Amino acid sequence: MNSSSADRMIRIDMNDQSVKIEPFPEAWELLAGRALSARILLEECDPTCNPLGPDNVFILAPGFLAGTSAPTSGRISVGAKSPLTGGIKEANAGGNSGQDLMKLGFRVVIVRGEPADSERRYAIDIDAEGVRIIPADEHRGKWNYALIDDLKETYSANASFVSIGPAGEQRLSGASVACTDKEQERHPARHAGRGGLGAVMGSKGIKYFAIDAGKLPTRKPADAKAFTAMSKQYTKEFISGPGLEPFPKWGTSVIVSEANSIDTFPYKNRTAGSSPDVETLDGMRIVESFEKRGGRMHACMTGCVVKCSNMVNDSKGNYKTSALEFETLTLLGSNCAIASWEDVADLDRLCDEIGVDTIETGAAIGIYMDSGDLEWGDAEGAKRVLREIAEGTEIGRALGNGAAATGRKQKHHRVGVLKGQAFPAWDPRPLKAAGVTYCTSAMGADHTAGLVVEPGQPIEEIAQASQEAQILNTVLDAVGFCQFLMPNIEEMSQFYSHFLGEEVTREALADQGWQCMQEEWQFNSLAGFGPEDDEMPDCMKQDAIGDAKFVWDIPQEIVKRVYERFEPRDELFQQRPA
């Protein structure tokens, strides 16, 4: 196999700020991204530990194909025990950090411990010369964009950054981890948002990672001819096929109208499934703004052929944010009855600056509005309370700790969370198989764990549909492909085989995905999770939405079928991410 003996791993102990660089274990050869993160957490992290204590393990794990010439393949997984859910968590992001780590030959960064002085801040510099931990106290409290602007003055133009904002430093459970994109400005706009992993990074005293691969070339496959041919062919077919369709061409923001039509564009804290403001929240309004304001679609990482990230400018033509995606337009827009995409763009920028997940934070603000302490649709009020997260006020900390924490503070009855994590835009009431994923995924309510967008699916099919979607997405998160490239497992196995110079069957790759899911479930079981944690909250069972009066009505005996593997069908290997 091509795995190269030169592959290494970085171990960092923040107890004494020490670094060890070790050979990457042969036993982990095929593991990367989410699959590698799950294995390390199960083997090396006490599932009962305090998520914000020294025994938690913080992981940066690029996908298997990161740093290669495979198209749109450089995503990075961030892993730890989640302070939001109390279980295992992987969140991934685009940008160039995964590409750069793999070009340097580093398959994973593992951080444990915490500084004796919790007020100290540190940075981790990673380049061809090695790994160094340096003081970064001067950057304490900085918002993400200001931080990166300062770092660009001292690091080379090749460096990528992984950082946290003030929410992560305050160890708030909705805190995200920001990665810089490939633009010259290196915007900190690609977030591993879900699960509060920015708080874990903050608990380690780390303000940022700087990763500089210099001019190092892409990683070389064992069968370069076959690998290059497949990369070119896949790129050609994508650009001339799916890449011409509105969603890949203009990004997730343009699916607003479609989602609204199937009651999965939640309104006013999910009390309705569609919004009267769908026209002014539709992402096509963003696309239309490009002509007068500038802005464009762009690639978030080197080698991306999807280019689904919109770059949003303000009315004066100045950059504001990227990418303003469907989930953000839903949770910070429709869910809060905020009617203008431009206000949502302001809120998105604030979330990226402060370093919080737009889904979790939008759900929290929706609960705050629903409880009566902020008027529905009050965009300026939403911006004000978002800034209070950075300021550390009482309500700011509640919102920064997520939807469940906000519900507890407000003593509110309608709190849409599962395993402590807020539901994404895709609503489980009309989308039953997606709901089964939320119930059974170790991650909780996370659409990236295995989304199935098929309203009206027969009840006897939904458990298998969820399981297959979860296996596919687990493999994607291990390989490092963006799901919007839409590769199937068979295609991914071919990329693996050409890279390694040895066959990796589609069945083997699917088995690896299933194994990852089992390891995540095992971690959660050891952490104290039980069947009761797979139950939908009452508001999903009682609050009917749409003309069809959708509620969550799937029996638990259907849900639990996901835990026993179905006989793999050919469709498993051929299906593409939703």
Q: What angle do CA 285, 286, 288 make, to 5 degrees?
A: 65
Q: Tokens 């370069």: give the residue.
A: 224
Count of Cβ atoms closer than 10 Å to residue 241 Cβ: 11
Classify 223-245+428-578 by CATH class. mainly alpha
Q: Is the pLDDT of residue 2 over 50?
A: no
452 near 433, Cβ under 8 Å? yes
d(CA 396, CA 398): 5
pLDDT in tens, 254-307: 999 999 999 999 999 999 999 999 999 999 999 999 999 999 999 999 999 999
Contacts 24+ apart (CB under 8 A), 223-226: 223/497, 223/498, 223/499, 223/501, 226/498
pLDDT of 35 reads 98
Q: Which of 5-14, 44-53, 121-130, 529-538 has the lowest mean pLDDT?
A: 5-14
Kind and range of the H or E run holding 177: strand 177-179
Count of helix runs (H) and strand runs (E) in the chain = 23, 17
320, 189 Cβ separation under 8 angstroms: no
pLDDT confidence of residue 276? 98
**Residue whose structure tokens are 């602007």:** 149
Query: Do the domains 8-212 and 251-424 sit in the same CATH topology, yes or no?
Result: no
CB-based contact 206:213 (threshold 8 Å): no
pTM: 0.97
Q: What angle do CA 7, 11, 17 make, to 5 degrees?
A: 145
Radius of gyration of the chain (CA): 22
The vertex-383 CA angle with 381 and 386, nearest 5°, equals 110
pLDDT tier at 329 (50, 70, 90 boundaries)? very high
The mean per-residue pLDDT over the stretch 365-388 comes to: 98
| Helix or strand run (H / E) with residue 181 | none
155: pLDDT strictly greater than 70: yes
Give the 3-state DSSP-derived string for 456-525, with helices as H, strands as E and coil as C: CCCHHHHHHHHHHHHHHHHHHHHHCCCHHHCCCHHHHHHHHHHHHCCCCCHHHHHHHHHHHHHHHHHHHH
* C-alpha to C-alpha distance for 358 and 433, rounded to whole angstroms: 24
Q: Minimal CA–CA distance to 536: which of 430, 442, 440?
A: 440
Q: How far is CA 204 from the centre of its chain?
A: 20
Taking the CA of residue 423 as centre, how many other CA atoms within 13 Å lie in the half-sphere pointing to its CB?
30
Domain boundaries, the chain: 8-212, 223-245+428-578, 251-424
Q: Tell how strand 106-112 and strand 8-13 pair up.
A: parallel
Q: Which helix (H) or strand (E) holds 319?
A: strand 319-321
How far is 405 from 163, CA to CA, in rounded Å?
24
Confidence label for 181 from pLDDT (cuts 50, 70 and 90): very high
* Helices assigned H by DSSP within 152-222: 166-169, 197-203
Give me the pLDDT at residue 247, please. Answer: 82
Do residues 304 and 72 touch, judged by C-beta distance below 8 A?
Answer: yes
For residues 150-167, average pLDDT: 98
Domain 8-212 - what CATH class? alpha beta
- What percent of the chain has pLDDT above 90? 97
Residue 71 to residue 81: CA distance in whole angstroms: 31
Class of the 251-424 domain? mainly alpha
The answer to whether residue 1 scores a pLDDT higher than 70 is: no
Among residues 424, 433, 419, 376, which one has the least CA distance to residue 562? 433
Give the pLDDT score at 483: 92
* Residue-averaged pLDDT of the chain: 96
pLDDT at 6: 82
* Residue 103 scores a pLDDT above 60: yes
Strands 58-62 and 106-112, sheet pairing = antiparallel
Distances (CA, A) of 41 to 44, 462, 486, 516: 5, 30, 28, 11
Amino acid type, 563: Y
Is residue 198 a contact partner of residue 358, using CB atoms and an 8 Å limit?
no
> b vs e for 271-304, b when ≥16 Cβ sit within 10 Å of the residue's Cβ?
ebbbbebbebbbbebbbebeeebebebbbbbbbb
Are 199 and 175 contacting, i.e. CB atoms less than 8 angstroms apart?
Answer: yes
pLDDT band at residue 5, thresholds of 50, 70 and 90? low
How far apart, in whole angstroms, are the C-alpha atoms of residue 207 and residue 110? 16
More confident residue, 506 or 5: 506
Q: State mean pLDDT over 18-29.
A: 96
| Residue bearing tokens 């095929």 | 30
Closest CA to 389 of 141, 214, 126, 60: 141
Cβ atoms < 10 Å from Cβ of 309:
27
Band (243; pLDDT cuts 50, 70, 90): confident
User: How far is 537 from 178, CA to CA, in rounded Å?
Assistant: 30
Q: In this structure, how many other beta carbons lie within 10 angstroms of the beta carbon of residue 318?
A: 9
**Interval 149-173 mean pLDDT:** 98
Count of CB atoms situated within 10 Å of the CB of 49: 14
